[in-house]
């Protein structure tokens, strides 16, 4: 089992399959043209499966595939099927554009739940955020996954004066649809124009929600990143992921593997270790994994520990979100 120096167990691995995406969401991807990794610098399908197997032998029991957009990988099916043969719970985060292509694979491999990023229910605003006019396709695939019995979580990055006027509309979705809406606080990454004044915290909006809806607080499990609620009589739920205003580092159990094979022990950490090069050289990568876990900071990757209200974007040393993995 993987324990850090604060005695936190690490049993959840997020693997980025690519730093490419067919959307251009402003909070994830820098505005300027970015260079995606050439294929020889990406982990191959076989390398992903073999490296993941090492993590599983060290106690990982849940794997989430991310990107960029993971479904852009031409060998996605091979990767997903291979990882699904390991004794882990598999899940995925996607923008949903290609989801209809993979329903049979997901059923075959036993996928139960998935996260879908959708930051607006308004077509024009969706286009403004993603730079792509794909709202109808995304929404159609969301409904398709619900129809086929998948547990669907909708991820919404809240940004002040961008989509904060849609909070109630998203909550209203849970009335007739068994979806789990999750509002995520805007987080700082390289060149994503983060500003603390654009962050909409849980406390900023909760009083208004409480006024407009009859809310029930749901139980939050250990390692949960979200504070979960339900409106009385609604099929679905909603939650807040309070990364900036109320960090949940004390119970963190997550590790990340970037598309170019670097292990990150925290989303916000600037420190990385090169697993892929060591693996290709035939080294035993278990020691590198345990070294990464042992060096983990207690909070926020050792950056902006004094709180986001005291932080500026220039203080953050990290990759862009798309280069890390969602």
- pLDDT at residue 321 above 90? no
pLDDT in tens, 259-291: 999 999 999 999 999 999 999 999 999 999 999
| Mean of pLDDT over the chain | 94
Dihedral over alpha carbons 278, 281, 284, 285 (to 10 degrees): 20
- pLDDT at residue 62 above 90? yes
Place 32 in a pLDDT band, splitting at 50, 70 and 90. low
Place 193 in a pLDDT band, splitting at 50, 70 and 90. confident
Alpha carbon 40 to its chain's center: 25
- What single DSSP character describes residue 116? E
Model's pTM, two decimal places?
0.95
Please state, for a pLDDT cut of 90, what percent of the chain lies above it.
80
Length of the chain equals 326
| Token digits of residue 235 | 């099929």
Q: Which domains does the chain have, with CATH numbers?
A: 2-324 (3.20.20.70)
Place 231 in a pLDDT band, splitting at 50, 70 and 90. very high
Give the residue, 165 or 313, on which the prediction is more confident. Answer: 165
Among the residue ranges 173-187, 190-204, 245-259, the one predicted with the least confidence is: 190-204
Place 27 in a pLDDT band, splitting at 50, 70 and 90. confident
3-class DSSP state of 228: strand
What does 55-79 look like in DSSP terms, one character per residue?
A: HHHTT--EEEEESS-GGG-TTHHHH
Instruction: Mention every residue, 6+ apart, whose C-beta is less than 8 A from residue 218.
Output: 228, 229, 230, 237
Place 190 in a pLDDT band, splitting at 50, 70 and 90. confident
pLDDT at 318: 81
Among the residue ranges 28-32, 186-190, 225-229, the one predicted with the least confidence is: 28-32
Angstrom distance (rounded) from CA 154 to CA 114: 9
pLDDT at 232: 98
Residues 311/301, Cβ–Cβ less than 8 Å: no
Please state, for a pLDDT cut of 70, what percent of the chain lies above it.
99
């Amino acid at each position: 089992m993987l324990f850090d120096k604060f005695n936190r167990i690490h049993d959840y691995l997020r693997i980025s399959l690519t730093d490419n995406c067919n959307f251009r969401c402003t909070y994830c991807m820098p505005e300027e043209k970015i260079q995606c990794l050439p294929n020889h610098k990406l982990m191959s399908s076989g390398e992903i499966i073999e490296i993941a197997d090492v993590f599983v032998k060290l106690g990982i029991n849940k794997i989430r595939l991310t990107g960029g957009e993971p479904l852009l990988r031409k060998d996605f099916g091979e990767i997903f099927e291979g990882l699904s043969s390991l004794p882990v719970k598999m899940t995925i985060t996607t923008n949903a554009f290609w989801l209809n292509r993979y329903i049979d694979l997901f059923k075959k491999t036993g996928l139960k739940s998935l996260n879908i990023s959708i930051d607006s229910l308004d077509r024009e605003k969706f286009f403004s955020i993603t730079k792509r006019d794909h709202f109808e396709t995304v929404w159609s695939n969301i409904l398709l996954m619900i129809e086929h019995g998948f547990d669907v979580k909708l991820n919404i990055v809240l940004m002040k004066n961008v989509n904060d006027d849609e909070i109630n509309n998203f909550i209203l979705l849970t009335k007739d649809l068994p979806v789990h809406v999750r509002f995520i606080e805007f987080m700082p990454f390289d060149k994503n124009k983060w500003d603390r004044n654009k962050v909409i915290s849980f406390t900023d909006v909760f009083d208004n929600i409480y006024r407009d809806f009859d809310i029930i607080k749901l139980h939050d499990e250990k390692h949960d990143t979200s504070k979960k609620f339900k409106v009385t009589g609604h099929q679905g739920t909603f939650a807040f992921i309070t990364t900036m205003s109320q960090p949940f580092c004390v119970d963190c159990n997550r590790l990340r593997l970037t598309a170019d094979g670097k292990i990150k022990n925290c989303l916000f950490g600037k420190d990385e270790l090169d697993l892929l090069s060591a693996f290709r050289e035939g080294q035993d990568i278990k020691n590198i994994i345990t070294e990464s876990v042992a060096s983990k900071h207690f909070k926020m990757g050792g950056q902006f520990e004094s709180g986001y209200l005291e932080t500026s974007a220039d203080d953050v040393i990290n990759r862009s979100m798309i280069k890390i993995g969602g």
